[in-house]
Amino acid sequence: MPEPRKQVVAIVGRPNVGKSTLFNRLTGERRAIVEDMPGTTRDRLYGEVEWSGRVFTLIDTGGLEADPSSDMLTSVANQVRVAVEEADMILFAVDTTDGITAADEVVAQLLREGALGGKGRTRRPVIVVAGKADNAARREAANEFYALGFEDVVAVSAVHGSNSGDLLDVILERLPELPMYSGEDDDRLRITIVGRPNVGKSSLLNKLLGQERVVVSDIPGTTRDAIDTEIEYAGRKLVVIDTAGIRRRGRIEPGIEKYSVLRAEWNIERADIALILVDATQMVTAQDLHIAGDIEREGKGAVLVVNKWDLVEKDTHTMQGYLEEIGREFNFMRWIPTVFISALTGQRVHRVLDEAIAVELERQKRIPTGQLNDVVARAVAEHPPQTHKGRQLKVYYATQAAVEPPTFIFFVNDPDLVHFAYERFLENTLRTAYGFKGTAVRLRFRPRKPDEDEKKKRR
């Protein structure tokens, strides 16, 4: 039986009224970047809120300007409209320190008239959330917001948590059919899109989803928050994460950009597969290799996605030349599959998810112990390790300890005798025999005496 759809609540309002702080308070996570600067949030952020055993999806949106004066602000307004279309309820955020402003009145009118979305659906309930009400005077001042024409006004201080529980109670009252929290394990495949600024990450995400999911702009650094989107593809549930562009350490500006880069690195940690997006017109840079190194160290799966392939002048040898350069640059990750795409035209974009799913299957491989030791024994016999200070490494036994990533334990006479080159030889041996395309592989070496090994084999 399919799991019932979670109901959706969207936070809207003019810039700098505390929408992201409210989002962080209700979700219990510091996912939205909070800065005392209008326009910090530009894309839609999704999070889950659990309260009284019930769960709903919360969306944080960019600030609505009363009179958008640029293409970027227009894009933000479009993002708010999409969020409202998805929502079953609206939290209209206002600021008790400012009172009712002209911008608040414009937003209120748009909500009342349905101009922000909702055609053909029952009108959504709107709760006015009067924020920054951290003292009695401001809580009293919240009453003036009833003049905006909505039935519910709740005064809160998202920073301190005051009345946030009361707000959640009101939300649940207005969402009586909210499904119970299932508590089931999350078996969704998490795919994060990473890369330098302005290589087309948001464009790729939008093409994969078939909708304008994030703000797309040719201004480097447009995406500053990480955004999770659940989709179904080839019978699998996937969570696709778009992240901010990762700059070189020395070029990271303090403040918002610093937090965005940290968030992008955190999303590598929580992902199963990372799509490393590079620009075909620039090819591989030092920063691309830095990002790839982070992914390898975290033991994640990876797909190298060469974007803007439509902008490259090509002949019959062009792709092979690129693959050879990639092999040289990514010599520490020769196992990574490569897809050449155009996020703008959609060329070969479908192969990105196909490769990600294939990589995940590789990450889940388990090798029977008997087969594994036959392969290892032949490899060691054909290429025995060199001696070091009169001593030679002896490999007695190997077993697979884990998957995601595949992890193997080698029992040897002395782990200190394992040279990096021989460890790489053993890893390549396993890859030749079993593939593991697109995934890191971990080898661990443990000391074991020969007689202990013989006892283990006889069991």
User: Quick check: is 184 in a domain?
Assistant: no
Query: For the range 448-451, what are the long-range contacts, defined as Cβ-Cβ under 8 Å and sequence gap of 24 or more?
Result: 448/396, 448/397, 448/411, 448/412, 448/413, 449/413, 450/394, 450/396, 450/413
* pLDDT at site 149: 83
pLDDT digits (tens, 9 = 90+) for 399-455: 999 899 999 999 999 999 999 999 999 999 999 999 999 999 999 999 976 555 455
Tokens of 253: 């500006």
Tokens of 95: 């600021």
* Residue 259 reports pLDDT greater than 80: no
* pLDDT at site 178: 43
Tokens of 425: 């030889």
pLDDT digits (tens, 9 = 90+) for 361-393: 999 999 999 999 999 999 999 999 988 778 999
How many domains are contained in the chain?
3
Helices (H), 123-276: 136-141, 164-174, 201-209, 256-270
Cα–Cα distance, 398 to 414 (Å, whole number) = 14
Cα–Cα distance, 73 to 82 (Å, whole number) = 14
Where is the domain boundary, 335, 363, 391? 363
Tokens of 402: 């884990």
Lowest mean pLDDT among 221-225, 237-241, 293-297: 221-225
* pLDDT at site 29: 65
Amino acid at 325: E
Q: What are phi and psi of 313, to 5 degrees?
A: -75, 130
User: Quick check: is 3 in a domain?
Assistant: no
| Axis-axis angle for helices 350-363, 201-209 (nearest 10) | 90
Residue with tokens 């799913």: 357
Residue with tokens 């995601």: 404
| Most confident stretch, 3-12, 16-25, 106-115, 445-454 | 16-25
Closest CA to 196 of 286, 295, 303: 286
* Residue 96 reports pLDDT greater than 90: yes
* Residue 249 reports pLDDT greater than 90: no
Taking the C-alpha atoms of 263, 217, 233 and 439 in order, what is their torsion angle to the nearest 10 degrees?
A: -50
The answer, as to whether pTM is greater than 0.75, is no
Given CA atoms 70, 71, 76, 77 in this order, what sign does their dihedral have?
positive
pLDDT band at 352 (very low <50, low <70, confident <90, very high): very high
| 144 lies in the same domain as 193 | no
Angle at 145 between CA 141 and CA 148, to 5 degrees: 165
User: Quick check: is 182 in a domain?
Assistant: no
Closest CA to 43 of 19, 76, 86: 76
| 304 lies in the same domain as 437 | no
Cα–Cα distance, 133 to 109 (Å, whole number) = 24
Closest CA to 172 of 125, 131, 134: 125
| 248 lies in the same domain as 205 | yes
* pLDDT at site 253: 45
CATH of the domain at 416: 3.30.300.20
| 248 lies in the same domain as 329 | yes
| 163 lies in the same domain as 25 | yes
* pLDDT at site 5: 52
Burial class (CB in 10 A: 0-12, 13-18, 19+), 451: exposed
Where is the domain boundary, 124, 145, 174? 174
Given CA atoms 101, 102, 107, 112 in this order, what sign does their dihedral have?
positive
* Residue 38 reports pLDDT greater than 50: no
pLDDT band at 227 (very low <50, low <70, confident <90, very high): low
Q: Indicate the SS3 state at residue 430.
A: helix
Cα–Cα distance, 263 to 244 (Å, whole number) = 8
| 194 lies in the same domain as 265 | yes
User: Quick check: is 181 in a domain?
Assistant: no
User: Quick check: is 179 in a domain?
Assistant: no
* pLDDT at site 65: 65
pLDDT band at 55 (very low <50, low <70, confident <90, very high): confident
User: Quick check: is 2 in a domain?
Assistant: no
Tokens of 451: 């007689």
Q: What is the mean pLDDT of residues 69-93?
A: 68
User: CA-CA distances (angstroms) from residue 399 to 191, 367, 396, 411?
Assistant: 29, 8, 11, 9
Where is the domain boundary, 332, 363, 394? 363
| 63 lies in the same domain as 119 | yes
User: Quick check: is 1 in a domain?
Assistant: no
| 426 lies in the same domain as 380 | yes
| 243 lies in the same domain as 358 | yes
* pLDDT at site 153: 92
pLDDT digits (tens, 9 = 90+) for 269-328: 778 999 999 999 987 888 788 888 888 988 999 999 999 999 998 888 899 999 998 889
The pLDDT mean for the chain works out to 79
Given CA atoms 275, 269, 298, 292 in this order, what sign does their dihedral have?
positive
pLDDT top residue among 38 and 227: 227
Q: What is the mean pLDDT of residues 254-263?
A: 44
What is the radius of gyration, based on Cα positions, of the chain?
27
| 397 lies in the same domain as 352 | no
The number of beta carbons lying within 10 Å of the beta carbon of residue 43 is 23
Instruction: Judge contact between 191 and 277, C-beta under 8 A.
Output: no
| 376 lies in the same domain as 238 | no
* Residue 226 reports pLDDT greater than 60: no
pLDDT top residue among 196 and 424: 424
Instruction: Judge contact between 369 and 375, C-beta under 8 A.
Output: no
The number of beta carbons lying within 10 Å of the beta carbon of residue 456 is 13
pLDDT band at 66 (very low <50, low <70, confident <90, very high): low
Q: What is the mean pLDDT of residues 247-261?
A: 43
Cα–Cα distance, 108 to 94 (Å, whole number) = 10
- Paired with 126 in beta bridges are 90
Amino acid at 217: S
User: CA-CA distances (angstroms) from residue 117 to 83, 86, 242?
Assistant: 9, 9, 24
* pLDDT at site 2: 37
Residue 336, domain extent: 189-363
User: Quick check: is 234 in a domain?
Assistant: yes
| 16 lies in the same domain as 48 | yes
CATH of the domain at 128: 3.40.50.300
